[in-house]
């Protein structure tokens, strides 16, 4: 259990906000306020989680003097407006992934955060989980030689209601931005931004990508193979292949889990199963608070510039598969 002098403001009252708030409170981080578009939703969320203040608008939340950090938990299309509003009010931001809808929007957030000397961190919580930190250390120590290939999936059987945000183009629905961002972020984390991209998708009746798969080619010929789907269940494992062995991450690889290191002969070298309390979303909050304490606006695990790079990869994949959202011009899906 830890304590925090920073006050967190929760912007949005959906499922992800509920999960994040629970993990913050479980480790003693201070949730000071919640904001929603309606005061009724904000008050209900505040009552459920025993949060001191409830605001019926985003502006009221970011103007609350008890709030130092704003967690943006809205659907994707609202991320940029909410994050910029918070930064303009002098608040640090933790923005749910996908960070924005486009790289241009991501650049706007990062630029304003830099101008104001504030932290703008993408809430890619997987990056900060203990098993992922251990895996990076294992790779840096040469346990599998030179890593060459990443194979990762994120497939789920999610709600099929056409009005659900995952199936609604106007809300940034589809497999790529909600699910595919995980393996793609992992690929950029391991190998840097890709030099070549190939992707294919199958679209739903509502015009969003129900399934998307592809290959990213990185510097030195390294490959990342990814699949994301919102209408079929998956094992959700991930494997890193190196010249001297492999690391196999247990299902579900992007949550708190374990992994196995194998040698060139596929013999088990070691197993690890780091203990994590709760879901594990508190680690990204720890990172943001660490940066604030140290007077920094960027860290090594999820630097803002890399969030922009990841959005650029998602943009390129959308171009490749022909995915357009309302207001972007051209057909939605194909």
pLDDT of residue 6: 97
- In terms of DSSP H, where are the helices of the chain? 15-26, 39-49, 58-63, 79-88, 103-116, 130-140, 175, 181-191, 282-293, 304-321
pLDDT of residue 284: 98
pLDDT of residue 120: 98
Q: Is the pLDDT of residue 285 over 80?
A: yes
Question: What is the pLDDT confidence band of residue 331, given thresholds at 50, 70 and 90?
Answer: low
pLDDT digits (tens, 9 = 90+) for 163-209: 999 999 999 999 999 999 999 999 999 999 999 999 999 999 999 99
| Tokens encoding 150 | 């990443």
pLDDT digits (tens, 9 = 90+) for 13-41: 999 999 999 999 999 999 999 999 999 99
Domains parsed from the chain with CATH numbers: 7-126+281-310 (3.40.50.720), 131-278 (3.30.360.10)
7-11, strands of its sheet edge to edge? 53-55, 30-35, 7-11, 69-72, 92-96, 120-123
pLDDT of residue 327: 83
Q: Catalytic residue at 91?
A: no
Q: Is the pLDDT of residue 2 over 70?
A: no
Question: What is the pLDDT confidence band of residue 317, given thresholds at 50, 70 and 90?
Answer: very high
pLDDT of residue 1: 45
- In the chain, the percentage of residues whose pLDDT exceeds 70 is 97
Question: What is the pLDDT confidence band of residue 328, given thresholds at 50, 70 and 90?
Answer: confident
- In terms of DSSP H, where are the helices of 98-247? 103-116, 130-140, 175, 181-191
| Residue from 91, 92, 97, 218 carrying the catalytic annotation | 97
């Amino acid at each position: 259990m830890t304590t925090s002098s920073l006050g967190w403001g929760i912007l949005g009252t959906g499922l992800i906000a509920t999960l994040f708030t629970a993990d913050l409170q479980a480790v003693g981080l201070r949730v000071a306020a919640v904001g929603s578009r309606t005061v009724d939703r904000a008050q209900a969320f505040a009552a459920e989680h025993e949060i001191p203040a409830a605001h019926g608008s985003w502006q009221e939340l970011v103007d609350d003097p008890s709030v130092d950090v704003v967690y943006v938990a809205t659907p994707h299309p609202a991320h940029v407006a909410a994050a910029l509003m918070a930064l303009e009010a002098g608040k640090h931001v933790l923005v749910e992934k996908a960070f924005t809808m486009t790289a241009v929007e991501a650049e706007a957030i990062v630029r304003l955060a830099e101008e104001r000397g504030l932290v703008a961190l993408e809430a890619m919580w997987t990056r900060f989980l203990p098993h992922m930190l251990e895996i990076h250390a294992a790779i840096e120590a040469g346990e599998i030689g030179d890593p060459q290939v990443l194979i990762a999936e994120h497939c789920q059987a999610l709600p099929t209601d056409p009005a659900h945000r995952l199936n609604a183009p106007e809300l940034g629905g589809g497999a790529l931005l909600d699910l595919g961002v995980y393996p793609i972020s992992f690929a950029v984390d391991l190998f840097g931004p890709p030099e070549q991209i190939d992707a294919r998708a199958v679209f739903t009746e509502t015009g969003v990508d129900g399934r998307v798969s592809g290959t990213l080619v990185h510097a030195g010929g390294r490959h990342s193979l990814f699949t994301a789907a919102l209408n079929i269940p998956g094992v959700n494992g991930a494997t890193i292949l190196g010249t001297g062995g492999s690391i196999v991450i247990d299902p579900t690889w992007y949550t708190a889990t374990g992994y196995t290191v194998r040698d060139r002969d596929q013999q088990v070298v070691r197993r690890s199963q780091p203990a994590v309390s709760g879901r594990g979303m508190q680690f990204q909050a720890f990172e943001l608070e660490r940066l604030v304490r140290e007077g920094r606006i960027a860290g090594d695990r999820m630097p803002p510039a890399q969030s922009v790079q990841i959005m650029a990869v998602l943009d390129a994949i959308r171009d490749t598969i022909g995915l357009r959202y309302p207001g972007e011009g051209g057909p939605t899906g194909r």
